[in-house]
Amino acid sequence: MNTDEMPAGREMDALVAEKVFGVPHEDCFDVYGGRRCVKDDEYGGPQCYSTDIAAAWEVVEKIREDYEPRIELWDEGWEVTILTGTDRGSASGRALTAPLAICRAALKAV
H or E segment to which residue 68 belongs: strand 68-74
The answer on pLDDT for 29 being more than 70 is no
- Residues with Cβ within 8 Å of residue 8, at least 6 apart in sequence: 50, 51, 95, 97, 99, 100, 103
- In sequence order, the β-bridge partners of residue 73 are 78
* Side-chain half-sphere CA neighbours of 4 within 13 A: 5
Please say if the pLDDT value at position 101 is more than 50.
yes
Mean pLDDT, the chain, whole residue set: 82
**109, pLDDT greater than 70:** yes
Spatial distance between the Cα atoms of 91 and 83, rounded to a whole number of angstroms: 7
- Which comes out higher in pLDDT, residue 91 or 45? 91
Provide the residue ranges of all domains of the chain, joining segments of one domain with +.
Answer: 10-109
For residue 30, name the pLDDT band (cuts at 50, 70, 90): very low
> Could you tell me the CATH superfamily of domain 10-109?
Bacillus phage protein-like (3.30.2120.10)
Distances (CA, A) of 62 to 7, 12, 23, 33, 56: 21, 17, 13, 28, 10
More confident residue, 77 or 40: 77
- What integer pLDDT is reported at residue 27 of this predicted model? 52
The answer to whether residue 90 scores a pLDDT higher than 50 is: yes
Note the pLDDT of residue 45: 41
pLDDT at 87 over 80: no
